């Protein structure tokens, strides 16, 4: 006791010494400049906001695992309904959250030139997989790569890949059916896991040119590493958030978003496949082939580094006198690997999330499932045993409506982000103006917007009829932000919809989806995951359908 008393008086004595007072004063000043003055950012600009209670900013409840991220953002979205935008502290970074849909369109489409980039910033040499991928690219480099990749995602290219998807789906569904043998004709399956396997194998065949069946070979390297690569749960989710919130600090600390092991694995797969194809002159209708063609393409650039199209325009704008300074785009091997890996980042977790929520909604809304099964059966009868074709898949309107309603209600990407690249003025409903500077961050709360009852009446109701195209639909599809909006929208949206439609066509041909004893309904979102996911998993009973009498 006497010893503790002695220590306390020693520390108090030191604190009141000159050095002690200097240290305390410096810490207080540092705290003031780093925290208090930063937290006054929106107040000084007259922007509506909620004063954060800690250095974690307005996301404290999410970061401390108390509420899901969508919940935090949705609550603020509702609270500031009288404003076109409000302020949000992402830790200590001020972000402008845009509530008003017209302003969203203005920023992402009309005035896109002021908001070209995402906030994430990665060193492309240090983190080559994601740093060189389209999502993370910036400015002219992004424009050029987008121009180069876009032709690989057109309807005609999707049609070429469709056969790979249907062949895989037929085999996968047969394997799942095999699992129900001896169990009374049904199996209770976890949907996120099931659709991760579907997604993994489809990415493997369409992007990397490799044929795998993860239902049979359950621990293949592609599956385990892909799962790790796209995992937004726990530490990896926080790491992803940190790279988006503190890009410069992460660069300074030389931290990597992805491990060396992953980078080596994917580099090896892509470069090995390319080598084999070149040696053996193999042509397969997949992404690697399209990228190899794109690399060969004689793409030209003007003196400002913009792609010059064959019609003589630079990225869509008129170009006069294309001079001799044109040059070809240089593709490194890492650029190629990164664009293939984009299928994993962009399409693997998002598509499996969409499919898992869709299976859940079909199981808990039997009327919707019945109508969808009727559409599937009509198509099967018309095809008389032949595989689903791209054109027939496109004609399945109700399947489209179900997928769109799932995307509206459970968007896999709960917010979009942009960074201001040129000064811009935001104006609130009352005429109050705020000057944005280069580097300011923007968020678009897609999840909250698509659940706003003023835009989507009864937002919690799963109602595919909102998307009916016979004049009865109430939704303007441009208000659905699940694939983003404007020139920086999702390049893979066609691929995603094609994949989901094919997978559900084959699944519903063989199975009826029902609630299982472990189904959690209504779903509660898992607070540890950045992307929406069910707290207790998505358990669904797959019952083998009896052939029609
Ligand atoms: C249901 C599935 C998917 C959803 C919900 C989704 C959603 C999104 C969203 C919200 C964005 C940002 C758009 C913006 O900021 O305006 C995006 C970008 C992107 N997505 Fe997807 N995505 C899906 C599937 C895919 C697939 C299958 C690919 C495969 C290649 C893909 C590749 C990309 C890429 C490369 C970008 C960056 C585009 C750019 O910066 O130019 N996505 N996606």
The answer, as to whether pTM is greater than 0.80, is yes
Atom of ligand 1 nearest to the CA of 153: 30
In this predicted model, what pLDDT tens digit does every residue of 301-317 receive, in sequence order? 555 655 555 443 444 33
C-beta 412 within 6 A of ligand 1:
yes
ipTM of the modeled complex: 0.99
Establish whether residue 353 lines the binding site of ligand 1, counting it when its CB lies within 6 angstroms of any ligand atom.
Answer: no
Can you list the residues of the chain whose pLDDT is less than 70? 1-16, 31-34, 232-236, 297-330, 547-549
* Residue 227, pLDDT score: 78
Q: Can you state the angle between helices 333-364 and 260-280, rounded to 10 degrees?
A: 110
Burial of 51 (0-12, 13-18, 19+ CB in 10 A): exposed
Q: Look up residue 41 and give its two tokens.
A: 């950012």
Task: Give the integer Cα–Cα distance in Å for 230 and 236.
Answer: 9
Closest ligand 1 atom to 411 CA: 5
First and final C-alpha spacing in the chain: 88
Can you read off the two tokens belonging to residue 406? Answer: 């799932």
Closest to 350 in 3D by CA, of 419, 418, 403: 403
Residue 319: per-residue pLDDT: 33
**How many whole angstroms separate alpha carbon 469 and alpha carbon 474?**
9
Separation CA 161–CA 182 (nearest Å): 35
d(CA 506, CA 169): 7
Residue 145 near ligand 1, beta carbon < 6 Å: no
Specify the residue for token string 């065949």. 205
Q: Which helix (H) or strand (E) holds 295?
A: helix 287-296
Question: What is the torsion angle, in degrees rounded to the nearest 10, for the CA atoms of residue 226, residue 227, residue 233 and residue 238?
Answer: -20
Q: Is the CB of 496 under 6 A from ligand 1?
A: yes
Q: Which residue has the tokens 């400002």?
A: 304
Nearest 5 degrees, angle CA 108-CA 109-CA 111?
85
pLDDT tens across 255-272, in order? 777 777 878 888 888 888
Our answer on whether the CB atom of 262 is closer than 6 Å to any ligand 1 atom is no
pLDDT at 440: 96
The residue written with tokens 């794109």 in the block is: 294
CA 492 to ligand 1 center in whole angstroms: 6
Of 275, 344, 335, 291, whose CA–CA distance to 161 is shortest?
291
pLDDT at residue number 306: 58
Beta-strand relationship, 511-515 and 307-308:
unpaired
């Amino acid at each position: 006791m006497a010893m503790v008393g002695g220590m306390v008086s020693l520390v108090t004595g030191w604190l009141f010494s000159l050095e002690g007072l200097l240290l305390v004063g410096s810490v207080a000043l540092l705290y003031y400049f780093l925290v208090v003055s930063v937290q006054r950012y929106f107040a000084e600009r007259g922007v509506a906001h909620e004063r954060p209670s800690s250095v974690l900013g307005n996301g404290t409840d999410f970061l401390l695992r108390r509420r899901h991220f969508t919940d935090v953002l949705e609550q603020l979205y509702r609270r500031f309904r009288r404003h076109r935008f409000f302020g949000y502290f992402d830790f200590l970074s001020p972000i402008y959250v845009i509530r008003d849909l017209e302003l969203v369109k203005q920023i992402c489409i009309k005035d896109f030139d002021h908001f070209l980039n995402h906030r994430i910033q990665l060193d492309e040499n240090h983190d080559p997989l994601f740093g060189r991928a389209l999502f993370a690219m910036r400015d002219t480099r992004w424009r050029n790569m987008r121009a180069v990749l876009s032709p690989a995602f057109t309807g005609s290219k999707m049609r070429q890949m469709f056969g790979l998807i249907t062949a895989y789906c037929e085999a996968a569904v047969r394997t799942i059916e095999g699992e129900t043998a001896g169990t009374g004709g049904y199996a209770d399956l976890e949907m996120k896991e099931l659709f991760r396997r579907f997604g993994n194998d489809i990415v493997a065949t369409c992007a990397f040119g490799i044929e795998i069946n993860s239902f049979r070979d359950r621990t293949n390297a592609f599956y385990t590493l892909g799962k790790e690569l796209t995992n937004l749960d726990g530490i990896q989710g926080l790491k992803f958030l940190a790279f988006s919130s503190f890009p410069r600090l992460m660069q300074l600390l030389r931290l990597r978003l992805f491990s060396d092991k992953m980078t080596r694995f994917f580099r090896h797969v892509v470069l090995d496949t390319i080598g084999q194809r070149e040696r053996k002159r193999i042509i397969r209708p997949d992404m690697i082939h399209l990228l190899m063609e794109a690399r060969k393409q004689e793409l030209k650039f003007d003196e400002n580094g913009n792609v010059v199209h064959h019609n003589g325009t630079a990225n869509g704008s008129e170009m006069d006198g294309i001079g001799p300074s044109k040059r070809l785009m240089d593709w490194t091997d890492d650029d190629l690997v990164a664009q293939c890996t984009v299928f994993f980042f962009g399409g693997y977790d998002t598509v499996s999330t969409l499919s898992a929520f869709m299976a859940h909604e079909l199981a808990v809304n039997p009327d919707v499932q019945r109508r969808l099964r009727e559409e599937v059966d009509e198509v099967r009868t018309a095809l008389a045993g032949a595989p689903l074709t791209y054109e027939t898949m496109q004609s399945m309107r109700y399947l489209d409506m179900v997928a769109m309603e799932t995307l509206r209600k459970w968007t896999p990407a709960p917010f979009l982000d942009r960074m201001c690249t040129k000064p811009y003025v935001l104006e609130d409903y009352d005429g109050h103006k705020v000057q944005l500077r280069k580097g300011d961050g923007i968020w678009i709360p897609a999840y909250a917007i698509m659940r706003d009852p003023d835009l989507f009446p009864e937002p919690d109701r799963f109602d595919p009829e909102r998307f009916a195209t016979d004049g009865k639909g109430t939704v303007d599809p441009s208000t659905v932000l699940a694939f983003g909006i404007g020139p920086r929208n999702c390049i893979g949206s066609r691929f995603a919809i094609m994949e989901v439609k094919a997978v559900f066509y084959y699944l519903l041909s063989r199975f009826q989806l029902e609630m299982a004893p472990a189904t959690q309904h209504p779903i509660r979102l898992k607070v540890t995951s950045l992307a929406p996911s069910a707290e207790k998993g998505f358990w669904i009973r797959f019952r083998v359908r009896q052939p029609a009498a």
